[in-house]
Structure 1
Amino acid sequence: MRWKIAQWFEQRWWKSYLADKNPQDYLDWKKSYWKVFIAKLDLEHPNEKAILDAGCGPAGIFIHLEGNQVTATDPLIDGYEKHLDHFNKSNYPWADFHQQTLEEINFKEKFDLVFCLNVINHVKDIDQSYHNLISALKPGGTLILSIDSHNYLLPKLLFRLLPLDILHSH
Protein backbone atom coordinates (compact mmCIF):
# COMPACT_ATOMS: atom_id res chain seq x y z
CA MET A 1 0.00 0.00 0.00
CA ARG A 2 2.81 2.42 0.91
CA TRP A 3 4.42 1.85 -2.51
CA LYS A 4 1.16 2.59 -4.37
CA ILE A 5 0.75 5.79 -2.38
CA ALA A 6 4.36 6.72 -3.16
CA GLN A 7 3.72 6.17 -6.89
CA TRP A 8 0.69 8.46 -6.76
CA PHE A 9 2.80 11.15 -5.06
CA GLU A 10 5.62 10.61 -7.56
CA GLN A 11 3.32 11.29 -10.51
CA ARG A 12 1.82 14.27 -8.70
CA TRP A 13 5.32 15.60 -7.94
CA TRP A 14 6.33 15.47 -11.63
CA LYS A 15 3.12 17.20 -12.71
CA SER A 16 3.67 19.98 -10.18
CA TYR A 17 7.42 20.30 -10.88
CA LEU A 18 6.92 20.61 -14.64
CA ALA A 19 3.77 22.75 -14.53
CA ASP A 20 5.50 26.09 -15.14
CA LYS A 21 8.33 24.79 -17.34
CA ASN A 22 8.27 25.15 -21.11
CA PRO A 23 8.56 21.58 -22.43
CA GLN A 24 11.25 22.28 -25.04
CA ASP A 25 13.30 24.49 -22.69
CA TYR A 26 13.12 21.85 -19.96
CA LEU A 27 14.14 19.01 -22.29
CA ASP A 28 17.02 21.05 -23.71
CA TRP A 29 18.22 21.73 -20.16
CA LYS A 30 17.84 18.07 -19.21
CA LYS A 31 19.80 16.88 -22.28
CA SER A 32 22.58 19.26 -21.29
CA TYR A 33 22.42 17.94 -17.72
CA TRP A 34 22.84 14.34 -18.94
CA LYS A 35 25.74 15.33 -21.19
CA VAL A 36 27.57 16.82 -18.19
CA PHE A 37 26.60 13.80 -16.06
CA ILE A 38 28.23 11.38 -18.51
CA ALA A 39 31.31 13.61 -18.77
CA LYS A 40 31.69 13.68 -14.96
CA LEU A 41 31.61 9.89 -14.91
CA ASP A 42 34.60 9.97 -17.23
CA LEU A 43 32.51 7.71 -19.42
CA GLU A 44 32.95 7.88 -23.15
CA HIS A 45 29.63 8.87 -24.70
CA PRO A 46 28.02 5.53 -25.51
CA ASN A 47 27.38 4.76 -29.16
CA GLU A 48 25.73 1.67 -30.61
CA LYS A 49 25.44 0.13 -27.14
CA ALA A 50 22.61 -1.83 -25.55
CA ILE A 51 21.54 0.34 -22.61
CA LEU A 52 18.94 -0.05 -19.88
CA ASP A 53 17.57 3.10 -18.22
CA ALA A 54 15.89 1.46 -15.22
CA GLY A 55 13.31 3.72 -13.60
CA CYS A 56 13.72 6.30 -16.35
CA GLY A 57 11.02 8.79 -15.37
CA PRO A 58 9.81 11.26 -17.99
CA ALA A 59 13.23 12.77 -18.74
CA GLY A 60 15.77 10.10 -17.90
CA ILE A 61 19.17 9.61 -19.42
CA PHE A 62 17.47 7.92 -22.39
CA ILE A 63 16.81 11.39 -23.87
CA HIS A 64 20.57 11.84 -24.39
CA LEU A 65 21.34 8.37 -25.78
CA GLU A 66 20.38 8.63 -29.44
CA GLY A 67 22.49 6.24 -31.51
CA ASN A 68 22.08 3.43 -28.98
CA GLN A 69 19.55 0.67 -28.42
CA VAL A 70 17.89 1.91 -25.24
CA THR A 71 15.37 0.04 -23.16
CA ALA A 72 13.69 2.39 -20.68
CA THR A 73 11.51 1.16 -17.82
CA ASP A 74 9.33 2.94 -15.29
CA PRO A 75 6.15 1.85 -13.51
CA LEU A 76 4.58 5.23 -14.33
CA ILE A 77 5.64 5.56 -17.98
CA ASP A 78 2.10 5.44 -19.43
CA GLY A 79 0.91 8.02 -16.90
CA TYR A 80 3.78 10.33 -17.80
CA GLU A 81 2.81 10.19 -21.45
CA LYS A 82 -0.86 10.76 -20.64
CA HIS A 83 -0.44 13.59 -18.11
CA LEU A 84 2.80 15.41 -18.98
CA ASP A 85 3.38 17.61 -22.03
CA HIS A 86 7.10 17.07 -21.45
CA PHE A 87 7.06 13.37 -22.35
CA ASN A 88 6.08 11.63 -25.56
CA LYS A 89 7.50 8.19 -26.36
CA SER A 90 7.49 8.94 -30.10
CA ASN A 91 10.13 11.66 -29.58
CA TYR A 92 12.65 8.92 -28.73
CA PRO A 93 12.61 6.33 -31.54
CA TRP A 94 15.88 4.83 -30.24
CA ALA A 95 14.16 3.89 -26.96
CA ASP A 96 11.83 1.00 -26.26
CA PHE A 97 9.65 1.85 -23.25
CA HIS A 98 8.25 -0.66 -20.77
CA GLN A 99 5.90 0.08 -17.89
CA GLN A 100 7.42 -2.02 -15.13
CA THR A 101 9.14 -1.87 -11.78
CA LEU A 102 12.75 -2.77 -11.08
CA GLU A 103 11.48 -5.92 -9.38
CA GLU A 104 9.84 -6.96 -12.68
CA ILE A 105 12.86 -6.44 -14.95
CA ASN A 106 13.69 -9.71 -16.68
CA PHE A 107 14.82 -9.12 -20.26
CA LYS A 108 16.33 -11.89 -22.38
CA GLU A 109 18.60 -9.23 -23.85
CA LYS A 110 21.60 -8.23 -21.76
CA PHE A 111 22.99 -4.70 -21.61
CA ASP A 112 26.39 -3.06 -21.96
CA LEU A 113 25.30 -0.27 -19.61
CA VAL A 114 22.59 -0.20 -16.97
CA PHE A 115 21.64 3.17 -15.50
CA CYS A 116 19.57 3.27 -12.31
CA LEU A 117 19.52 6.93 -11.32
CA ASN A 118 17.62 8.08 -8.23
CA VAL A 119 15.45 4.97 -8.36
CA ILE A 120 16.75 2.22 -6.08
CA ASN A 121 15.43 3.99 -2.98
CA HIS A 122 11.91 4.03 -4.52
CA VAL A 123 11.45 0.25 -4.76
CA LYS A 124 9.44 -2.25 -2.72
CA ASP A 125 12.04 -5.04 -2.71
CA ILE A 126 15.56 -3.64 -2.79
CA ASP A 127 17.28 -7.06 -2.85
CA GLN A 128 15.27 -8.26 -5.86
CA SER A 129 15.89 -4.92 -7.58
CA TYR A 130 19.67 -5.19 -7.14
CA HIS A 131 19.56 -8.79 -8.37
CA ASN A 132 17.62 -7.79 -11.50
CA LEU A 133 19.93 -4.87 -12.30
CA ILE A 134 23.04 -7.03 -12.02
CA SER A 135 21.41 -9.88 -13.97
CA ALA A 136 20.59 -7.45 -16.80
CA LEU A 137 24.29 -6.81 -17.50
CA LYS A 138 26.35 -8.46 -20.20
CA PRO A 139 29.62 -9.96 -18.94
CA GLY A 140 31.92 -6.98 -18.43
CA GLY A 141 28.94 -4.58 -18.50
CA THR A 142 28.70 -1.51 -16.29
CA LEU A 143 26.05 -0.62 -13.70
CA ILE A 144 25.77 3.07 -12.88
CA LEU A 145 23.65 3.59 -9.80
CA SER A 146 22.94 6.78 -7.88
CA ILE A 147 20.52 8.12 -5.31
CA ASP A 148 19.55 11.57 -4.17
CA SER A 149 20.29 12.16 -0.54
CA HIS A 150 19.33 14.68 2.07
CA ASN A 151 22.44 16.74 2.75
CA TYR A 152 21.17 18.96 5.54
CA LEU A 153 21.19 17.85 9.16
CA LEU A 154 17.56 18.68 10.02
CA PRO A 155 15.97 16.76 7.11
CA LYS A 156 18.35 13.85 7.73
CA LEU A 157 17.28 13.64 11.37
CA LEU A 158 13.58 14.06 10.63
CA PHE A 159 13.56 11.41 7.90
CA ARG A 160 15.42 8.96 10.15
CA LEU A 161 12.93 9.43 12.99
CA LEU A 162 9.66 9.83 11.08
CA PRO A 163 8.39 8.32 7.82
CA LEU A 164 8.01 11.74 6.19
CA ASP A 165 9.67 10.97 2.86
CA ILE A 166 6.90 8.98 1.18
CA LEU A 167 8.69 8.89 -2.19
CA HIS A 168 11.82 7.16 -0.89
CA SER A 169 11.11 4.01 1.09
CA HIS A 170 14.77 2.97 1.53
Structure 2
Amino acid sequence: MKKTLRWRVAQSFEARWWKKYLHRKDVSTYLKWKRGYWDNTLNLINKNLGMQAGQDVLDAGCGPAGVFIALPGYKITAFDPLLDTYHQTLPHFKKEMYPAVNFVTETLENFNSNTLFDMIFCMNAINHVSQLEEAFLKLYNQAKPGGRIIVSIDAHNRQFFKYFFRMQPADILHPHQYDLPEYEAMLTTLGCTILQKELIKKEFFFNHYILVAQKN
Protein backbone atom coordinates (compact mmCIF):
# COMPACT_ATOMS: atom_id res chain seq x y z
CA MET A 1 0.00 0.00 0.00
CA LYS A 2 1.30 3.44 -0.91
CA LYS A 3 0.88 5.82 2.02
CA THR A 4 0.47 9.21 0.40
CA LEU A 5 1.44 12.45 2.09
CA ARG A 6 -2.19 13.55 2.02
CA TRP A 7 -3.20 10.31 3.78
CA ARG A 8 -0.49 10.69 6.44
CA VAL A 9 -1.59 14.24 7.16
CA ALA A 10 -5.24 13.14 7.33
CA GLN A 11 -4.37 10.37 9.80
CA SER A 12 -2.52 12.80 12.04
CA PHE A 13 -5.46 15.18 12.06
CA GLU A 14 -7.87 12.30 12.65
CA ALA A 15 -6.08 11.30 15.85
CA ARG A 16 -6.05 14.92 17.03
CA TRP A 17 -9.73 15.31 16.18
CA TRP A 18 -10.75 12.36 18.34
CA LYS A 19 -8.64 13.53 21.26
CA LYS A 20 -10.17 17.01 21.12
CA TYR A 21 -13.70 15.72 20.54
CA LEU A 22 -13.64 13.31 23.50
CA HIS A 23 -11.60 15.49 25.86
CA ARG A 24 -14.51 16.64 28.04
CA LYS A 25 -16.89 13.74 27.45
CA ASP A 26 -17.58 11.38 30.32
CA VAL A 27 -16.58 7.86 29.25
CA SER A 28 -19.69 5.94 30.30
CA THR A 29 -22.08 8.67 29.10
CA TYR A 30 -20.40 8.87 25.71
CA LEU A 31 -20.31 5.11 25.17
CA LYS A 32 -23.97 4.77 26.15
CA TRP A 33 -24.86 7.47 23.62
CA LYS A 34 -22.69 5.85 20.95
CA ARG A 35 -24.27 2.44 21.44
CA GLY A 36 -27.66 4.09 21.01
CA TYR A 37 -26.44 5.75 17.83
CA TRP A 38 -25.36 2.41 16.39
CA ASP A 39 -28.61 0.73 17.45
CA ASN A 40 -30.60 3.40 15.59
CA THR A 41 -28.35 3.10 12.55
CA LEU A 42 -28.70 -0.67 12.43
CA ASN A 43 -32.47 -0.39 12.72
CA LEU A 44 -32.54 1.74 9.56
CA ILE A 45 -30.88 -0.98 7.47
CA ASN A 46 -31.80 -4.10 9.40
CA LYS A 47 -34.22 -5.44 6.75
CA ASN A 48 -31.34 -5.79 4.27
CA LEU A 49 -28.75 -7.25 6.64
CA GLY A 50 -30.07 -10.67 7.63
CA MET A 51 -27.92 -10.65 10.75
CA GLN A 52 -27.86 -13.73 12.95
CA ALA A 53 -26.01 -14.25 16.21
CA GLY A 54 -22.72 -16.07 15.77
CA GLN A 55 -21.96 -14.66 12.33
CA ASP A 56 -18.49 -13.40 11.42
CA VAL A 57 -18.50 -9.60 11.40
CA LEU A 58 -15.72 -7.23 10.32
CA ASP A 59 -15.60 -3.61 11.50
CA ALA A 60 -13.20 -2.02 9.00
CA GLY A 61 -11.72 1.31 10.07
CA CYS A 62 -13.51 0.98 13.39
CA GLY A 63 -12.11 4.00 15.21
CA PRO A 64 -12.33 4.10 19.01
CA ALA A 65 -16.10 3.44 19.20
CA GLY A 66 -17.14 1.62 16.05
CA VAL A 67 -20.15 -0.59 15.46
CA PHE A 68 -18.31 -3.36 17.32
CA ILE A 69 -19.51 -1.84 20.61
CA ALA A 70 -23.15 -2.56 19.70
CA LEU A 71 -22.94 -6.16 18.43
CA PRO A 72 -22.92 -8.64 21.32
CA GLY A 73 -23.19 -12.27 20.29
CA TYR A 74 -21.20 -11.96 17.05
CA LYS A 75 -17.67 -13.07 16.17
CA ILE A 76 -16.13 -9.65 15.59
CA THR A 77 -12.83 -8.54 14.16
CA ALA A 78 -12.21 -4.78 14.27
CA PHE A 79 -9.25 -2.98 12.76
CA ASP A 80 -7.96 0.55 12.31
CA PRO A 81 -4.48 1.96 11.65
CA LEU A 82 -4.82 4.25 14.69
CA LEU A 83 -6.00 1.66 17.23
CA ASP A 84 -2.75 1.71 19.23
CA THR A 85 -2.87 5.51 19.34
CA TYR A 86 -6.46 5.46 20.56
CA HIS A 87 -5.62 2.83 23.18
CA GLN A 88 -2.75 4.93 24.50
CA THR A 89 -4.41 8.37 24.43
CA LEU A 90 -8.17 7.91 24.92
CA PRO A 91 -9.83 6.66 28.10
CA HIS A 92 -12.91 6.01 25.95
CA PHE A 93 -11.15 3.15 24.16
CA LYS A 94 -9.20 0.38 25.84
CA LYS A 95 -8.93 -2.98 24.11
CA GLU A 96 -9.59 -4.82 27.37
CA MET A 97 -13.06 -3.23 27.52
CA TYR A 98 -14.07 -5.58 24.68
CA PRO A 99 -12.50 -8.98 25.41
CA ALA A 100 -14.63 -10.76 22.77
CA VAL A 101 -13.39 -8.53 19.93
CA ASN A 102 -10.30 -9.40 17.90
CA PHE A 103 -8.54 -6.05 17.43
CA VAL A 104 -5.96 -5.54 14.68
CA THR A 105 -3.92 -2.39 14.08
CA GLU A 106 -3.80 -2.18 10.31
CA THR A 107 -4.85 -0.17 7.28
CA LEU A 108 -7.78 -1.31 5.19
CA GLU A 109 -5.60 -1.90 2.15
CA ASN A 110 -3.13 -4.11 4.09
CA PHE A 111 -5.63 -6.00 6.24
CA ASN A 112 -5.77 -9.75 5.60
CA SER A 113 -7.71 -12.51 7.30
CA ASN A 114 -8.26 -16.19 6.57
CA THR A 115 -11.86 -15.62 7.63
CA LEU A 116 -14.45 -14.53 5.11
CA PHE A 117 -17.10 -12.41 6.74
CA ASP A 118 -20.90 -12.54 6.65
CA MET A 119 -21.07 -8.82 7.36
CA ILE A 120 -18.48 -6.11 6.71
CA PHE A 121 -19.06 -2.65 8.15
CA CYS A 122 -16.93 0.25 6.93
CA MET A 123 -18.55 3.19 8.66
CA ASN A 124 -17.26 6.68 7.90
CA ALA A 125 -13.87 5.19 7.07
CA ILE A 126 -13.62 4.64 3.31
CA ASN A 127 -13.12 8.40 2.77
CA HIS A 128 -10.02 8.16 4.97
CA VAL A 129 -8.02 5.44 3.18
CA SER A 130 -4.91 6.02 1.10
CA GLN A 131 -5.74 3.88 -1.96
CA LEU A 132 -9.49 3.88 -2.56
CA GLU A 133 -9.73 1.17 -5.25
CA GLU A 134 -7.53 -1.17 -3.20
CA ALA A 135 -9.72 -0.52 -0.16
CA PHE A 136 -12.98 -1.37 -1.93
CA LEU A 137 -11.38 -4.48 -3.44
CA LYS A 138 -10.28 -5.56 0.04
CA LEU A 139 -13.83 -5.21 1.38
CA TYR A 140 -15.11 -7.28 -1.53
CA ASN A 141 -12.48 -10.01 -1.19
CA GLN A 142 -13.01 -10.38 2.57
CA ALA A 143 -16.79 -10.87 2.22
CA LYS A 144 -18.40 -14.28 1.81
CA PRO A 145 -20.43 -14.87 -1.37
CA GLY A 146 -23.82 -13.40 -0.52
CA GLY A 147 -22.28 -11.42 2.34
CA ARG A 148 -23.18 -7.83 3.06
CA ILE A 149 -20.86 -4.84 2.72
CA ILE A 150 -22.13 -1.78 4.58
CA VAL A 151 -20.36 1.49 3.83
CA SER A 152 -21.13 4.95 5.16
CA ILE A 153 -19.71 7.87 3.20
CA ASP A 154 -19.60 11.63 2.87
CA ALA A 155 -20.63 12.19 -0.76
CA HIS A 156 -20.34 15.49 -2.60
CA ASN A 157 -23.52 17.37 -3.52
CA ARG A 158 -21.93 19.85 -5.94
CA GLN A 159 -19.59 19.03 -8.80
CA PHE A 160 -17.67 22.30 -8.56
CA PHE A 161 -16.64 21.71 -4.95
CA LYS A 162 -15.89 18.05 -5.62
CA TYR A 163 -13.23 19.02 -8.15
CA PHE A 164 -12.07 22.02 -6.12
CA PHE A 165 -11.48 19.84 -3.03
CA ARG A 166 -9.56 17.36 -5.16
CA MET A 167 -7.13 20.10 -6.20
CA GLN A 168 -6.94 21.90 -2.85
CA PRO A 169 -6.78 20.04 0.51
CA ALA A 170 -9.60 22.11 1.99
CA ASP A 171 -11.13 18.97 3.54
CA ILE A 172 -8.04 17.80 5.40
CA LEU A 173 -9.58 14.72 7.04
CA HIS A 174 -10.75 13.16 3.77
CA PRO A 175 -8.14 12.36 1.10
CA HIS A 176 -10.87 11.35 -1.40
CA GLN A 177 -13.63 13.44 -2.90
CA TYR A 178 -16.46 11.68 -4.80
CA ASP A 179 -20.20 11.87 -5.28
CA LEU A 180 -22.78 9.17 -4.53
CA PRO A 181 -23.00 7.60 -8.03
CA GLU A 182 -19.21 7.28 -8.11
CA TYR A 183 -19.16 5.47 -4.75
CA GLU A 184 -21.98 3.18 -5.86
CA ALA A 185 -20.05 2.33 -9.03
CA MET A 186 -17.01 1.33 -6.98
CA LEU A 187 -19.15 -1.45 -5.47
CA THR A 188 -21.18 -2.49 -8.48
CA THR A 189 -18.17 -2.79 -10.80
CA LEU A 190 -16.68 -5.31 -8.37
CA GLY A 191 -19.79 -7.46 -8.59
CA CYS A 192 -22.02 -6.15 -5.81
CA THR A 193 -25.70 -5.32 -5.84
CA ILE A 194 -26.80 -2.20 -3.97
CA LEU A 195 -29.66 -3.25 -1.69
CA GLN A 196 -30.25 0.04 0.11
CA LYS A 197 -29.24 3.70 0.03
CA GLU A 198 -30.04 5.62 3.19
CA LEU A 199 -29.58 9.36 3.57
CA ILE A 200 -28.44 9.98 7.14
CA LYS A 201 -27.56 13.66 7.12
CA LYS A 202 -27.87 16.43 4.55
CA GLU A 203 -25.38 19.30 4.47
CA PHE A 204 -24.17 21.95 2.03
CA PHE A 205 -21.00 20.30 0.72
CA PHE A 206 -21.70 16.66 1.54
CA ASN A 207 -24.56 14.32 2.27
CA HIS A 208 -23.87 11.42 4.61
CA TYR A 209 -25.18 8.11 3.22
CA ILE A 210 -25.18 4.45 4.13
CA LEU A 211 -24.92 1.96 1.30
CA VAL A 212 -25.83 -1.69 1.87
CA ALA A 213 -24.43 -3.96 -0.82
CA GLN A 214 -24.49 -7.70 -1.37
CA LYS A 215 -21.55 -9.61 -2.84
CA ASN A 216 -22.89 -11.63 -5.74
Tell me which stretches of 4 or more aligned residues in structure 1 moved more than 6 Å. 150-158
SS in structure 1 at match of 2:154: coil
Structure 1 counterpart of 2:7: 3
Confirm or deny: 8 A CA contact 1:46 1:65 kept in the other structure.
Answer: no
Confirm or deny: 8 A CA contact 1:67 1:94 kept in the other structure.
Answer: no
Matched, 1:134 2:140: yes
Which residue of 162, 168, 172 corresponds with 1:166? 172
Structure 2 counterpart of 1:81: 87
CA-CA distance at 1:46 after TM superposition: 4.2
Could you tell me which amino acid in structure 1 is paired with residue 144 of structure 2?
K
CA-CA distance at 1:85 after TM superposition: 0.7
SS in structure 2 at match of 1:115: strand
SS in structure 2 at match of 1:148: strand
CA distance in 1, matches of 2:50, 2:40: 12
Q: Which runs of 5+ in 1 are unaligned?
A: none
Could you tell me which amino acid in structure 2 is paired with residue 28 of structure 1?
K
CA distance in 2, matches of 1:86, 1:169: 26
Structure 2 counterpart of 1:21: 25
Q: Which runs of 5+ in 2 are unaligned?
A: 177-216
User: TM-score, with normalisation over the residues of structure 1?
Assistant: 0.92
Q: Residues 46 and 26 (structure 1 numbering): CA distance in 2 closer, same or farther, change over 3 Å?
A: farther
Confirm or deny: 8 A CA contact 1:38 1:44 kept in the other structure.
Answer: no
Alignment RMSD: 2.0
Which residue of 59, 79, 98 corresponds with 1:53? 59
CA distance in 2, matches of 1:154, 1:56: 31
CA distance in 1, matches of 2:172, 2:28: 30
Q: Number of residue pairs matched?
A: 170
Which digits, 9 at most, give the CA deviation of each residue in 1:41-95, with x for residues without a partner?
0245541110000000000000011111100010000000000010011111221
CA-CA distance at 1:148 after TM superposition: 2.8
Which residue of 100, 105, 120 corresponds with 2:111? 105
Which digits, 9 at most, give the CA deviation of each residue in 1:135-156, with x for residues without a partner?
0011111000111346699977
Q: Residues 126 and 152 (structure 1 numbering): CA distance in 2 closer, same or farther, change over 3 Å?
A: closer
Which digits, 9 at most, give the CA deviation of each residue in 1:84-128, with x for residues without a partner?
010011111221000101101221111000000111111111111
Which residue of 66, 69, 74 corresponds with 1:68? 74
CA distance in 2, matches of 1:81, 1:113: 25
User: TM-score, with normalisation over the residues of structure 2?
Assistant: 0.73
Could you tell me which amino acid in structure 1 is paired with residue 38 of structure 2?
W
Could you tell me which amino acid in structure 2 is paired with residue 75 of structure 1?
P
Q: Residues 13 and 136 (structure 1 numbering): CA distance in 2 closer, same or farther, change over 3 Å?
A: same
SS in structure 2 at match of 1:102: coil
Q: Matched residues, percent identical?
A: 47
Q: Residues 10 and 46 (structure 1 numbering): CA distance in 2 closer, same or farther, change over 3 Å?
A: farther
SS in structure 2 at match of 1:37: helix
